[in-house]
A and B are shown apart, each in its own frame.
Chain A
Amino acid sequence: MNWLLSLGSLAGVLALGGVARLLRLGGSEPLAPEQVTERVQFEYNPFRVERMVIGLDGRAALVRATDGRLVAVKVHGAHPATRLLPGAPAVTTCGDLVVVDTGDRWFGPLRLRLDQAQRDMLRAML
């Protein structure tokens, strides 16, 4: 592989990234309860959903199974991604933003925008 080809490939990479943006590819619908249920049931089978809260912006959700397991769901590009949370996750609240530590720095913390009723429900879930 020569340097010209390397530079050409790099230019191609950046150009394709730019085209994907220009064409407005990707994007995702806000999370819906059915979609979140289906996702956690697939990835954590068997998983019986006890209750869930979905952020007001539809970008994140927290789900609790009847056996007590807690799963964080976030919109990741065009697909949701999930993490099984450690026993008692650290939670910080700042106004309507509730941040749940997932214990995975690369997945990042779960950022939920919640109204008062949802925040109360979340507290009951943890």
Chain B
Amino acid sequence: MATLPNPVDYAVPGFILLVLAEMLVACAADRRRYCPQDTLTSLALGFGSTIAGALSFGLVFATASWVWGYRLMDVPWTWWAFVLCFVLDDLAYYVFHRSAHRVRWFWASHVIHHSSQHYNLSTALRQTWTGFFSLAFIYRLPLFLLGFPPAMVFFCAGLNLIYQFWIHTEVVGRCPRWIEAVMNTPSHHRVHHAVNPRYLDRNYAGVFIVWDRLFGTFEAEREDDRPRYGIVKQLGSFNVLWAAVHEWVGIARDMWSAPWNAKLGYLIREPGWSHDGSRDTSQTIRARWQNQAAAEPSKEQQVGADHVQAA
């Protein structure tokens, strides 16, 4: 089986230089775009994530190769197969990412990426330590079953991750219209990282925003609703370990104290779900905001054609 290098390894110096460049811009434009403790936490999480990824990669690759053994067809090692693989892998990423926001088990791993109240290039490197444990790789298994060689898929996945780096910035406003129409951009991904009721659980795209437009999860960034970043219940801590595991601890605590018939819900339902309805989910937050806006005509215009997404 052919092997390929991990493109992310080669991108690391570029990541560092671009973070440095964005820091210099922040120094001139708005010092509060960066905060040293937050940056260190993000980068430490990123570093830990590469270690965790390297440790588990052998097992993931072995699983992928085993599944590939049952492939439906033989995808050739040609340029168009790489293009097709990249597009389908991005679709698999969309499905994974959507479930990572709608199923608490996967959210517990993904929340790390959203746990900063900042939105800058260092936030892009705030990556999970528990991706393997959460079994996130299962979303790529259909690609191997289709016949795409594991080396090809992981190469495309690396390129996908590299693409997603540059969109974590407030330095870039809007890109040309055709780019905003097709590609995931800083503007679209700012929406994804925002906790404004309008923006919650929107824009799951990795590289191509068309998936969100196609599956009804797209929301455009608005001048009159500036994104506020982070998670609904902000961490309020720069502790790296706590950032990495806090939601897993939350799941364990909730399952421990819940009645038997509700325990599973704390694992597989959406983040914020509770058996007695005492907590907020993205739907309840959005619904409340919409009701208030409907009652206050001045806000009605802001809500516009927004709708509650059926999960």
Query: Taking beta carbons and an 8 Å cutoff, which residues of A are in contact with B?
Result: 1, 5-6, 8-10, 12-13, 15-17, 19-21, 23-28, 42-43, 45-46, 74, 76-79, 81-83, 104, 106-108
CB–CB A25/B47 < 8 A: no
For B44, list chain A residues within 8 Å (CB). 13
CB–CB B38/A81 < 8 A: no
For A9, list chain B residues within 8 Å (CB). 12, 47, 50
Chain B residues touching A, majority SS? helix
CB contact under 8 A between A81 and B35, given known A20-B23, A106-B242: no
CB contact under 8 A between A12 and B16, given known A23-B27, A77-B38: yes
For B13, list chain A residues within 8 Å (CB). 8, 12
Chain A residues touching B, majority SS? mixed
CB of B3 to closest CB in A, whole Å = 14
CB–CB A26/B31 < 8 A: yes
Contact-size category for B: 35 or more
For A26, list chain B residues within 8 Å (CB). 31-32, 34-38
For B127, list chain A residues within 8 Å (CB). none
Q: Which of A21, A25, A79, A106 is close to B117, meaning CB atoms less than 8 Å apart?
A: A79
Let me know if B122 is at the binding interface, CB within 8 A: yes
Q: How far is the CA of A16 from the CA of B236 in the complex (A)?
A: 22
CB contact under 8 A between A106 and B246, given known A12-B12, A20-B39: yes
B12 (CB) vs chain A CBs: closest residue: A9
The 5 A-B residue pairs with the shortest CB-CB distance in the complex, in nearest-first order = A26-B35, A81-B236, A77-B35, A25-B34, A20-B36
Let me know if B43 is at the binding interface, CB within 8 A: yes
CB of B290 to closest CB in A, whole Å = 12
CB contact under 8 A between A25 and B36, given known A77-B238, A108-B237: yes
CB–CB B235/A81 < 8 A: yes
CB of A13 to closest CB in B, whole Å = 4
For B31, list chain A residues within 8 Å (CB). 23-27
Task: Taking A9-B12, A43-B232 as given, write out 19 further A-B residue pairs in contact, using a Cβ cutoff of 8 Å, ordered by the A residue number.
Answer: A10-B47, A12-B16, A13-B40, A15-B16, A16-B43, A16-B122, A17-B39, A20-B40, A23-B24, A23-B26, A25-B27, A26-B34, A26-B35, A26-B38, A27-B35, A79-B234, A81-B236, A82-B236, A107-B237
CB–CB B43/A17 < 8 A: yes
CB–CB A20/B34 < 8 A: yes
For B23, list chain A residues within 8 Å (CB). 16, 19-20, 23, 25
Q: Which of B15, B232, B236 is close to A104, meaning CB atoms less than 8 Å apart?
A: B236
For A6, list chain B residues within 8 Å (CB). 47, 50-51
CB of A35 to closest CB in B, whole Å = 13
A77 (CB) vs chain B CBs: closest residue: B35
Q: How far is the CA of A16 from the CA of B34 in the complex (A)?
A: 11
CB contact under 8 A between A83 and B26, given known A1-B50, A13-B44, A106-B242: no
Q: How far is the CA of A25 from the CA of B122 in the complex (A)?
A: 13
CB–CB B9/A76 < 8 A: no
For B238, list chain A residues within 8 Å (CB). 76-77
For A15, list chain B residues within 8 Å (CB). 16
B33 (CB) vs chain A CBs: closest residue: A25
For A21, list chain B residues within 8 Å (CB). 36
B229 (CB) vs chain A CBs: closest residue: A79
For B47, list chain A residues within 8 Å (CB). 6, 9-10, 13
For A16, list chain B residues within 8 Å (CB). 16, 19-20, 23, 39, 43, 122
CB–CB B239/A42 < 8 A: no
Q: How far is the CA of A123 from the CA of B156 in the complex (A)?
A: 60
For B38, list chain A residues within 8 Å (CB). 26, 77-78
Q: How far is the CA of A16 from the CA of B228 in the complex (A)?
A: 24
CB of B215 to closest CB in A, whole Å = 28
CB of B97 to closest CB in A, whole Å = 24
Let me know if B292 is at the binding interface, CB within 8 A: yes
For B26, list chain A residues within 8 Å (CB). 23, 25
CB of B274 to closest CB in A, whole Å = 14
Interface centre among B33, B117, B289 (most CB of A within 10 A): B117
For A27, list chain B residues within 8 Å (CB). 31-32, 35
